[in-house]
Structure 1
Amino acid sequence: MSEIEVRPAKPSDYDAIKAVVDDWWGVPVQSGLTRLFLDHFHNTSFVVYAHGHLVAFLVGFLSQGQRDLAYIHFVGVAPTFRRSGVGRELYRRFFSLVHSAGRTRVAAITSPRNTRSIAFHTAMGFRVSEPIADYDGPGADRVYFDRLIDE
């Protein structure tokens, strides 16, 4: 495990994330994670490399509209690293960072069909909403996650 590096993201990490995200998710999702997220929110995002290869990432930011809130936009963990604790570690680091920034809540959304994400967020202490019809437009229902930061 000494070859694992967890660090804040850099804009240059975008290409590595883009290269794997659709494979890791098993569906095309790359369009939801454009380069601007790492150009502008790399200081609130994290990457994990093992033996020089990207194995996980978390892209998050501090909400500009809700001063008590931080938002997790996208998370990916390589299939071979799932259930290793790396996802929990990314969330723990994000919680610590946003707590230090004076934020008290973290939110995220997903599709109601993403049962793996719903189970993970529930285990991480998030409250999970019922599906919100048409949240992202007609037929694009979403589940909303919300968690208080108590560090």
Structure 2
Amino acid sequence: MVAEANGDLAGFVIGFLSPSQPDEAHIHFTGIAPRWRRTGLAQDLYERFFTTAREHGRTTVRALTSPQNTTSIRFHESMGFTSSEPIKDYDGPTLDRVTFVRHLDPA
């Protein structure tokens, strides 16, 4: 999902429909330009992703972030995700992560 403003990139969500888990979609990476933060753009992009996931029969969306990224943790929780405690070495030695899961209503 990409959002532009006046020809400039304002934000994006990179996600995918899991090929091995037919009920899941994953948000892999999100970026919002500094001047577009706290405008609702990230929420809009996530909602678009949720709609696409539902249209493809997905009922669960997963995401992750580092435990230090408290802004991301707060954002995901505000979007209805349940967060885990930090998982030690999730992405390799010293790369701890917090995982998120959100269940979607069917389309």
Q: Which residue is equivalent to 1:59?
A: 14
Letter in 1 for 2:71: R
How much does 1:64 deviate? 1.1
Unaligned runs of 5+ in 1: 1-45
Q: Highest relative contact order (Cα 8 Å, sep 6+), 1 or 2?
A: 2
1:124 aligns with 2:79: yes
TM-score, normalised on structure 1? 0.69
TM-score, normalised on structure 2? 0.97
**Among 34, 51, 62, the residue aligned to 1:96:** 51
SS at match of 1:136: coil
* Root-mean-square deviation over aligned CA pairs: 0.7
Query: Segments of 4+ in structure 1 off by > 6 A?
Result: none
- 1:40-91 alpha-carbon deviations (Å, 9 max, x no partner): xxxxxx1111000001000000011211100000000011011101100000
Cα separation, 2, equivalents of 1:133 and 1:124 = 24
Greater share of strand:
2
Unaligned runs of 5+ in 2: none
1:142 aligns with 2:97: yes
